[in-house]
Amino acid sequence: MASEYEMSVNDYIAIIKHHALLLILSFVVILGVCIAVAISLPPTYESSGTILVESQQISPDLVAANNNTFADERIEVIRQRVMTREHLEGIIDKYNLFATQSRHLSVTEKIDEMRNAITVSLVSAVVKGRGEVTIAFRLGFEHRQPEIANKVANELVTLFLDENIKQRTERASETTEFLTQEADKLRVELEALENRLADFKQAHSNALPEHQELRMNMLSRAETELKEVDRDYKTAREELRFNELELSAANAGLATKPGAPGAAVDKPQDLGSLKAEYTRLLLLYTEAHPDVRAVKRKIAALRAGKGVGAGGAAASVSLDVAKAQARIFAAEARIKSLADQKQGILNKIADYEAQILETPQVERGLVTVMRDHENARKKYEEIRTKEMGAKISESLEQENKAERFVVLELPLMPEKPVRPNRKKVVAMGFLLAPVGAGALVMFLEMMSQRVRGAAALASVLGRRVLVSIPYIQTKAELARRRKWRTLLIVCGVAIIAIFLVLLHVLYMPLDLLMFKALGRFA
Domain ranges of the chain: 211-370, 471-522
- Please give the average per-residue pLDDT across 443-469, as a whole number: 71
Can you count the helices (H) and strands (E) in the chain?
15, 4
DSSP-derived letter for residue 504 is I
Residues in contact with 503: Cβ distance below 8 Å, sequence separation at least 6, in sequence order: 510, 513
The rounded percent of the chain whose pLDDT value lies above 90 is 7
Which whole-number Å values give the CA distances from 393 to 64, 65, 175, 385, 509, in the listed order?
A: 7, 5, 10, 12, 60
pLDDT band at 49 (very low <50, low <70, confident <90, very high): very high
- Please give the average per-residue pLDDT across 498-514, as a whole number: 76
pLDDT band at 157 (very low <50, low <70, confident <90, very high): very high
Long-range contacts of 86-90 (CB under 8 A, 24+ apart): 87/159, 88/114, 88/115
Give the class (CATH, top level) of 211-370: mainly alpha
Whether 181 and 387 have beta carbons less than 8 Å apart is answered as no
One-character DSSP codes across 146-159: HHHHHHHHHHHHHH
For residue 118, the model assigns a pLDDT of: 92
- Please give the average per-residue pLDDT across 139-163, as a whole number: 91
- Please give the average per-residue pLDDT across 445-449, as a whole number: 74
Distance, in Å, from the CA atom of 516 to the CA atom of 513, rounded to the nearest integer, reads 5
Strand ranges, E, within 354-485: 404-409
Whether 386 and 168 have beta carbons less than 8 Å apart is answered as no
For residue 6, the model assigns a pLDDT of: 64
> Mean pLDDT, the chain, as a whole number?
78
pLDDT band at 312 (very low <50, low <70, confident <90, very high): very low
Whether 68 and 398 have beta carbons less than 8 Å apart is answered as no
Choice between 62 and 398, residue whose per-residue pLDDT is larger = 398
For residue 47, the model assigns a pLDDT of: 93
- Please give the average per-residue pLDDT across 13-33, as a whole number: 80
DSSP-derived letter for residue 6 is -
Pairing of strands 118-127, 45-54: unpaired
Would you say residue 42 has pLDDT above 90?
no
Which whole-number Å values give the CA distances from 268 to 62, 185, 250, in the listed order?
A: 106, 89, 8
- Please give the average per-residue pLDDT across 180-191, as a whole number: 90
* pLDDT tens, residue by residue, 198-242: 888 888 777 777 777 887 888 889 889 888 888 888 888 888 888
For residue 230, the model assigns a pLDDT of: 87
Q: Containing H/E element for 263?
A: none
Distance, in Å, from the CA atom of 118 to the CA atom of 411, rounded to the nearest integer, reads 13
Long-range contacts of 438-441 (CB under 8 A, 24+ apart): 438/23, 440/22, 440/26, 441/15, 441/16, 441/19, 441/22, 441/23, 441/26
Q: Is the dihedral of CA 221, 222, 225, 231 positive or negative?
A: negative
Strand, coil or helix: 51: strand
Q: Is the dihedral of CA 393, 394, 399, 402 positive or negative?
A: positive
Would you say residue 138 has pLDDT above 90?
yes
For residue 266, the model assigns a pLDDT of: 40
Would you say residue 308 has pLDDT above 50?
no
For residue 7, the model assigns a pLDDT of: 66
- Please give the average per-residue pLDDT across 450-454, as a whole number: 67
- Please give the average per-residue pLDDT across 133-158, as a whole number: 91
Distance, in Å, from the CA atom of 222 to the CA atom of 229, rounded to the nearest integer, reads 10
Q: Containing H/E element for 522?
A: none
Distance, in Å, from the CA atom of 393 to the CA atom of 173, rounded to the nearest integer, reads 9
Would you say residue 19 has pLDDT above 50?
yes
Pairing of strands 404-409, 45-54: antiparallel
Q: Which of 30, 158, 69 is nearest to 433 (CA)?
A: 30
Distance, in Å, from the CA atom of 215 to the CA atom of 244, rounded to the nearest integer, reads 42
Buried b (16+ CB within 10 A) or exposed e, 239-256: bbeebbebbebbbeeeeb
Helix ranges (H only) for 120-255 are 146-203, 212-251
For residue 257, the model assigns a pLDDT of: 39
